[in-house]
Amino acid sequence: MNDKQQVTRGERPADVPTLMPRIDVFEDSAGITLLADLPGVPKDRLELRVEGDTLQVEGEILPDTPEGMEAVYAEIRVGRYRRAFTLSSELDTSRIEAQFRDGVLKLRIPKHEHAQPRRIEVQVA
Amino acid sequence: MYESLLNSPSGLFAELERLQREMQQTFGSVGRPGSIRAVASGAFPAINVGSTPGAVEIYAFAPGVDASKVDVQVDRGVLTISGERPGERPQGDEKSAVYASERFAGRFKRTVSLPDDVDPDRVTARYRDGVLHVSVARRESTLPKRIEIQ
């Protein structure tokens, strides 16, 4: 699983600045777990897409700003997160499970059954 | 030879310096005086501060924390947000591997200096979508008032 620096898909201009969410990636024998920090993104503004071997995570930040608020200081200056990954062929993209709670996205990408490790008996002749 | 490489305006180091300066201009504040409590960028949680005539709004981008265990305090004009975010590394077997570990784990504490006209008794804090929103009301006496002309 590799990071893709930029994915141009046409429908959105690629030069819109986006934040790269921080992630954790763990692998075990049955699949890969990906955790991504997307604070400020409501559930309905989170978009997960798999196209071919590319997984793209995108989310829009919608903070509850009162009317007439002026920004005084900002560390988060961009309203959108985006990050894309290349998946390898042993991962089963049709069975990806996603949970999104308190701004943390948890993705579970299982491996294909046939790709899971098997112990191979060594026959003694 | 090395010296000339370092000093040349078009040298490699100048190019790196220019890049770094551009990064700072894009992602951080440069030139403006920073707060005495300012921390290096990338601290957890990231904080945005806004101002309205009636209140000061502080947004702390703290995803995945237990809101009941976050401590929000106002003491002598300084707002402190502290808490802990547990690491989520699973207890894997010997076949498990970690490929990326960018997310913050551990105890955190951030402070924000509040303006003088806030009322420390009227503070509300809400946690939604991983963002802690603290609203500190300003004192009534400092709200802009329309003065009637006799």
Residue-wise DSSP of A65-106: PPTT-EEEEES---SEEEEEEEPPTTB-GGG-EEEEETTEEE
pLDDT value at A7 more than 60: no
- Which residues of A fall within a CB distance of 8 Å from B61? 39-40, 75-76, 103
d(CA B42, CA B108): 12
Residue of A40, A70, A102 lying closest to B50 (CB–CB): A70
Say yes or no: ipTM exceeds 0.85: no
Q: A70 vs B99: CB contact, 8 Å cut-off?
A: no
pLDDT value at A46 more than 90: yes
Predicted pLDDT of residue A59: 95
d(CA B59, CA B106): 20
Residue-level pLDDT, tens digit, chain B, 150 residues:
444 444 445 556 666 666 666 666 555 544 556 566 666 667 899 999 999 989 999 999 999 999 999 999 999 889 999 999 988 776 666 668 888 888 999 999 999 999 988 998 999 999 999 999 999 999 887 667 788 888
- Which residues of A fall within a CB distance of 8 Å from B130? 37-41, 102-104
Helices within chain B (DSSP H only): 2-7, 12-27
In B, residues 13-72, which contact A (CB 8 Å cutoff)?
Answer: 27, 41, 45-53, 55-57, 59, 61-65, 67
- Contact of B97 with chain A, judged by CB distance below 8 Å, is answered with yes
- Which residues of A fall within a CB distance of 8 Å from B64? 37, 101-104
DSSP label of A51: E
Identify the band that residue A120 occupies on the pLDDT scale cut at 50, 70 and 90: confident
- Contact of A115 with chain B, judged by CB distance below 8 Å, is answered with no
* Shortest CA gap A37–chain B (Å): 6
pLDDT, tens only, B21-61: 666 655 554 455 656 666 666 789 999 999 998 999 999 99
pLDDT, tens only, A92-110: 988 999 999 999 999 999 9
Cβ atoms of A80 and A59 closer than 8 Å: yes
d(CA A39, CA A60): 10
- Contact of A103 with chain B, judged by CB distance below 8 Å, is answered with yes
d(CA A124, CA A108): 39
DSSP label of A125: -
Cβ atoms of B130 and B61 closer than 8 Å: yes
Q: What predicted TM-score, i.e. pTM, was given to this entire model?
A: 0.75
Select the more confidently predicted residue: B33 or A21: A21
Predicted pLDDT of residue B22: 63
Predicted pLDDT of residue B50: 93
- Contact of A16 with chain B, judged by CB distance below 8 Å, is answered with no
- Contact of B103 with chain A, judged by CB distance below 8 Å, is answered with yes
Residue of B65, B100, B130 lying closest to A40 (CB–CB): B130
Torsion of CA B28, B29, B33, B35, to 10 degrees: -40
Q: Please tell me the least confidently modeled range out of A10-24, A61-75, B8-22, B64-78.
A: B8-22
